[in-house]
Structure 1
Amino acid sequence: MINWKGLSASYHWWRRRWFYPLVSVVVALGVCLTTPAPGKAIDLLPLLLQGVQVLQLSNISERQEVDLGKQMNQELSAEVRLSDNSQLISYVNQIGRRLAASSDRPNLPYTFQVVEDDAINAFATLGGFVYVHTGLLKAADNEAELASVIAHEIGHVGGKHLVKQMRQRAIASGVATAAGLDRNQAVGIGVELALNRPRSRQDEFDADQRGLKTLTRAGYAPSAMVSFMQKLLRNGSGPAFLSTHPATSDRINALNRSINSQPSNGRYGLDNNSYKANIRAFLR
């Protein structure tokens, strides 16, 4: 004998369990796919079926940011020569972690890398990945000056400046839509910007101020950030991280005003002889 009542109950349970969620997904997809957006449209449904990860850079989570940073680091390893000098890497990490603990985002799992390159440069990507050139290590007179540049790059991480630039580039190139941006496209854009980053006035001033606060909180001499900039300008080195826009003299004046308004007793890292001895040993 057929239990019609039982079958009816099972049917209603199945409908609640599967039908309504399915309708919700279809409606959500319809909203995403029909929402007008500038640039080249991305058909979200095929991307989902293919397992492509679609990101919304406007509200990227910290975990997504760190994961993107890891993927960008893998890509960068093919573009730049990362040092395998364990002593040198350990030394830079020691400085970086001291600064990171006093930064705007101390809970990020920061990674500090050394790039074998004589250019006086440093850059940062997403999720706390910071890269320091050996040329910068050699150009600094003391640890505080080196720390000032690392703090500046940590300031870019704190301000999420690269995320903003990636979003702007994706929109301008027509690959960002209401559906989002393909993860691999995001990584490619991020790597290109990290290596050839356009320097906006607002971002550089912001990274300077964030970096100065981090440097001071970590106990380093804040004057080292100014002295390093001034020295490189006098020598005409023209490092990449000292962009001509905004004018470095304006940045130095802004830093001096900040230092004078909040005097610090921090003097750590000013021993030139000790630093030079360490660097010579590390770079052998």
Structure 2
Amino acid sequence: MLNLFSFHSRRYWRRRLYPLLSVLLALGLVVGTPQVTQARSWFDLILQGVQIFQLSNVSDRQEVQLGKQINQQLVGQEIQLYRDREINRYINEIGQRLAKNSSRPDIPYTFQVVDGKNINAFATVGGFVYVYTGLIAAADNEAQLASVMAHETAHIAARHALGQMRQMAIARGVASAAGLDRNTAVGLGVELALRRPNSRQDEREADQLGIETLQKAGYAPMAAVEFMKKLMKTGGALPAFLSTHPATPERIEALEQAIPQDRAYAGDGLNNQAYRNKIRAVL
């Protein structure tokens, strides 16, 4: 009887212990490397109520939440939003049309207009895209503007910012045994959004996915190439979204090869005057 009891007792504790060991193992996974030893233990972080992000395994819900926190800091401290209601409505309409036709349509996307003369746009994690008034004014038509917004949407679809945050966390040794705490993750996200270019591979992927999204959304894909060529001819420093590697001529060539010639100008958004009428407030 005693042996039978011991057998059942051991089985009972094994059933209880294995799930606990699994949780401890999951919490012990670093953002992707075992080399970080500086940070606080996962147990200390949990006791202090610190929210932890495992950047190698972030859920959609966690990513959107992180994006909201990054956005709060960006809007509160780094950028000034453009408040014209009609311009914001127009940009959001274009953005949502692209998001629905992206390779990742199942998260919410937020498109915001930044008050600034820079010909620029950027994206953060969780579906947040920022479009400068300078970019809106520089585009000749809606399809050209949509091509840049599609490119930024593609960065989100491919989770490029999360990959860069992970690399930065490893390089700087700011990950704990549990992962990356919320405040550190937000800080890295803000830095990436404003000051760190995407990699050569990320840009190529975003160009390809962006063109696919642009076409699926019903815009004329050749507008992307025409806008890049136009900006190269203006002289001076290239806009931030074009200044990263691969070099712009190489990107243009790759895009031209990706666009079917018989469909290059098939689609919406090529009416220059109609576009000017809609964006008159930023001109």
TM-score w.r.t. the length of structure 2 is 0.88
Aligned residue for 2:258? 258
Pairing 1:92–2:91 present: yes
TM-superposed CA distance for 1:198, in Å, is 2.2
Aligned residue for 1:102? 101
- Which has the greater radius of gyration? 1
Aligned residue for 1:8? none
Aligned counterparts of 1:123 and 1:189: Cα–Cα separation in 2: 15
* 1:192-271 pair list within 5 angstroms: 192-236=191-235, 238-260=238-260, 263=263, 266-271=266-271
Aligned counterparts of 1:59 and 1:168: Cα–Cα separation in 2: 14
Structure 1 stretches lacking a partner, 5+ long: 1-11
* Kept in 2: contact 1:153–1:211 (CA 8 A): yes
Q: 1:145 to 1:188 in 2, by over 3 A?
A: same
The runs of 4+ residues in structure 1 deviating greater than 3 Å are 18-36, 260-265
Aligned counterparts of 1:107 and 1:31: Cα–Cα separation in 2: 26
Aligned residue for 1:138? 137
Q: Percent identity?
A: 55
Aligned residue for 1:9? none
- Matched residue type, 1:111: T
Q: 1:213 to 1:90 in 2, by over 3 A?
A: same
- Matched residue type, 1:251: R
Q: 1:200 to 1:46 in 2, by over 3 A?
A: same
SS at match of 2:72: helix
Aligned residue for 1:4? none
Aligned counterparts of 1:57 and 1:138: Cα–Cα separation in 2: 36
* Kept in 1: contact 2:136–2:282 (CA 8 A): no
The 10-residue stretch of structure 1 (196-205 or 116-125) with the greater mean CA deviation from structure 2: 196-205
* Kept in 2: contact 1:216–1:264 (CA 8 A): no
* Kept in 2: contact 1:103–1:214 (CA 8 A): yes
Aligned residue for 2:5? none
Aligned counterparts of 1:94 and 1:56: Cα–Cα separation in 2: 33
* 1:232-266 deviation line (CA, Å, top 9, x unaligned): 00112510000242110000000000013783563
SS at match of 1:113: strand
TM-superposed CA distance for 1:19, in Å, is 11
TM-superposed CA distance for 1:31, in Å, is 8.1
* 1:47-97 deviation line (CA, Å, top 9, x unaligned): 101111111100110000000011111010121001221111100000001
* Kept in 1: contact 2:50–2:182 (CA 8 A): yes
* 1:173-184 pair list within 5 angstroms: 173-184=172-183
Q: 1:217 to 1:21 in 2, by over 3 A?
A: same
Pairing 1:118–2:99 present: no
Q: 1:119 to 1:31 in 2, by over 3 A?
A: closer
Aligned counterparts of 2:97 and 2:157: Cα–Cα separation in 1: 15
* 1:113-136 deviation line (CA, Å, top 9, x unaligned): 000010000000011100000000
Aligned residue for 1:42? 40
Aligned counterparts of 2:45 and 2:218: Cα–Cα separation in 1: 49
TM-score w.r.t. the length of structure 1 is 0.87
Q: 1:269 to 1:176 in 2, by over 3 A?
A: same
- Matched residue type, 1:64: Q
* Kept in 2: contact 1:137–1:279 (CA 8 A): yes
- Matched residue type, 1:85: D
Number of residue pairs matched by the alignment:
269
- Matched residue type, 1:94: E
Aligned residue for 2:153? 154
Aligned counterparts of 1:248 and 1:190: Cα–Cα separation in 2: 25
